[in-house]
């Protein structure tokens, strides 16, 4: 599985990469700006995105809206709590920072449909 990471905190992105690679995933990114993550989402193939809500002061919601419209699963990884999210995203998978690797992998398995 290829995972796009949009995360602006260096140590968090390093930990995410390590956790995901240990689980057998390949990584696209990490991208620290909304613009870079959006460009990559247009030009690269990936199965799932992990999105920090605040990327260097910009909310990731435009990318989340686009991924949702395209049917690409994503998980928010943020210090924000679910009730801080816009109503349209409150039902989306959300992991709080600092993340537990097992909880993240559980959300990934739930978000990505199994091949038939």
pTM reported for the whole predicted model? 0.91
What is the rounded CA–CA span in Å between residue 73 and residue 64?
9
Provide the pLDDT for residue 7: 96
Q: What is the pLDDT of residue 115?
A: 62
The per-residue pLDDT for 111 is 87
Amino acid 116: pLDDT: 54
Kindly report the average pLDDT of the chain as a whole number.
92
Burial per residue of 7-35, b for 16 or more beta-carbon CB atoms within 10 angstroms, e otherwise: bbbeebbebbbebbeeeebebbbbbbebe
pLDDT less than 70: residues of the chain: 114-116
In order of their start, the domains of the chain are 2-111 (3.40.50.2300)
The whole-number pLDDT of residue 3 equals 96
């Amino acid at each position: 599985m290829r995972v796009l990471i949009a995360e602006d905190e260096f140590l968090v992105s390093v930990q995410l990469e390590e956790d995901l690679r240990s689980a057998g995933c390949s990584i696209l990114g990490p991208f620290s700006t909304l613009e870079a993550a959006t460009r990559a989402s247009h030009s690269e193939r990936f199965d799932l995105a992990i999105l920090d809500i605040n990327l260097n002061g910009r909310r990731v919601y435009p990318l989340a809206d686009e991924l949702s419209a395209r049917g690409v699963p994503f998980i928010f990884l943020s210090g924000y709590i679910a009730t801080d999210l816009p109503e349209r995203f409150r039902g989306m998978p959300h992991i709080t920072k600092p993340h537990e690797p097992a909880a993240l992998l559980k959300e990934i398995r739930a978000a990505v449909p199994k091949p038939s």
